Amino acid sequence: MDDFRKSSATTDSFVLAKRPVGAPVLSDFKRISSPVIQELKENEVRVHGLYYSVDPAEWNVGEVVKSEVVARVAESKSSQFRVGELVIGEFPWSTESVVLSDKVRKIDIQKAFASEYLGVLGQSGLAAYFGLVEIGKPIAGETLVISGASGAVGSLVGQIGKLFGCRVVGITSSEIKMKFLTAHLGFHASLNHLSDHFSEELEQACPNGIDIYFDDVGGSLSDSVMKWMNHLSRVVICGQISSVCSEATVSGKRIESVLLNRSILMQGFRVSDYEKKVPAANLKLTEWLTDGKIESTETILRGFDRLPEASSPHMKASKLGKMIVKAEDWL
């Protein structure tokens, strides 16, 4: 094994240079170099980033961007970690970082690929599981509709919904993604929300109405879906991609009367709401993954330099599943 104890004099990082208007673009980021910490304190570990998760997030201008990262331990002042072990945690977008040992956990690459701990066995998998199982409460024969269905969370929600016996309808943004959902993941139907006939196509895909709507987009798309919701149906609010980077006040249809008249449950959530249930959920997701009942879908870009590019609208339009950047160094 290489000598991972060696540290560079500087570490490269990506800072959010200015607030994105809409989806982030390359010019919103700035690459900087800064001195690295040479001497570790007790219970600190030095890590070199391997796989970086790229997600819509509320990043702060002037600060180094952070996300979930799979990294290799390069040096350790903690009895819990040895040099060369793979760990995961919320780290900066930096080639090298020093973090407290209680902020990281080991991963087992005998059970899954390292990158899958950022997707199906990471926050995306937990969001899909808790949102659908705890709030959606799927029942065999019900119709489940998912917006952002070809993304990291949506593609897993549909697969889990199938395990529960639901009719799964995915909403996405291109013909290629529609084909991926039906031909590859086995969704029962897929729709392009950019279609001029989207409302009619949604009605045809859901002849018995909609029992669960897993919403990761929001905005006018969700307004269109609401009119097909059934009595006692459930709406799971996982994300609002349509407005995540917008500072403008968003207004739209008022849905309170629909919720009232059809006795619809609408609930948002965060994975942290189910902290005590995370171990059991991870076990179930790992079981489904190793048994081949669900699969991980990833779009991986190679090279630390491509982190800003991975956040761009161009990549968002073409990606399937989880967006990940794989650093070439330290592999």
The per-residue pLDDT for range 148-169, each reduced to its tens digit, is 999 999 999 999 999 999 999 9
Range of the domain at 219: 123-273
Model pLDDT, residue 330:
47
Would you say residue 285 lies in a domain? Answer: no
Q: What is the pLDDT of residues 70-92, one digit of tens each?
A: 999 999 999 999 999 999 999 99
What pLDDT sits at residue 55?
Answer: 84
Structure tokens at 293: 């009942």
- Claim to verify: residue 88 and residue 179 sit in the same structural domain: no
- Please tell me whether residues 269 and 145 are part of one structural domain: yes
Is residue 71 located within the same domain as residue 83? yes
**Which CA distances in Å does 12 have to 26, 41, 307?**
16, 22, 12
Inside any domain, residue 290: no
Domain end marker among 257, 273, 289:
273
Average pLDDT, the chain: 91
Q: Which residues pair with 310 in a beta bridge?
A: none
Same domain flag for 240 and 144: yes
In this structure, the answer to whether residues 223 and 260 fall within a common structural domain is yes
Residues 49 and 94 in one domain: yes
The mean per-residue pLDDT over the stretch 272-299 comes to: 96
pTM (2 d.p.): 0.90
Tens-place pLDDT, residues 97-117: 999 999 999 998 888 899 999
- Tell me, what CATH number does 203's domain have? 3.40.50.720
Read off the CATH number of the domain in which 50 is found: 3.90.180.10
Phi-psi bin for 165: left (phi > 0), alpha (psi -120 to 50), beta?
left
Question: Residue 124 in contact with residue 156, Cβ under 8 Å?
Answer: yes
In a domain, 292, yes or no: no
Helix (H), strand (E), coil (C) string for 272-331: HHHHHHHHHHHHHHHHHHHCCCCCCCEEEEECHHHHHHHCCHHHHHHCCEEEEEECCCCC
Would residue 3 count as lying in a domain?
A: no
DSSP class of 197? T
Q: Would the pLDDT of 1 be above 50? A: no
- In a domain? residue 282: no
261 and 136 in one domain? yes
Same domain, 153 and 207: yes
Domain count, the chain: 2
- What one-character DSSP code corresponds to residue 249? P
The tens digit of pLDDT for each residue in 184-242 reads 999 999 999 999 999 999 999 999 999 999 999 888 888 899 999 999 999 999 988 75
Q: Kindly state whether residues 247 and 141 are assigned to the same domain.
A: yes
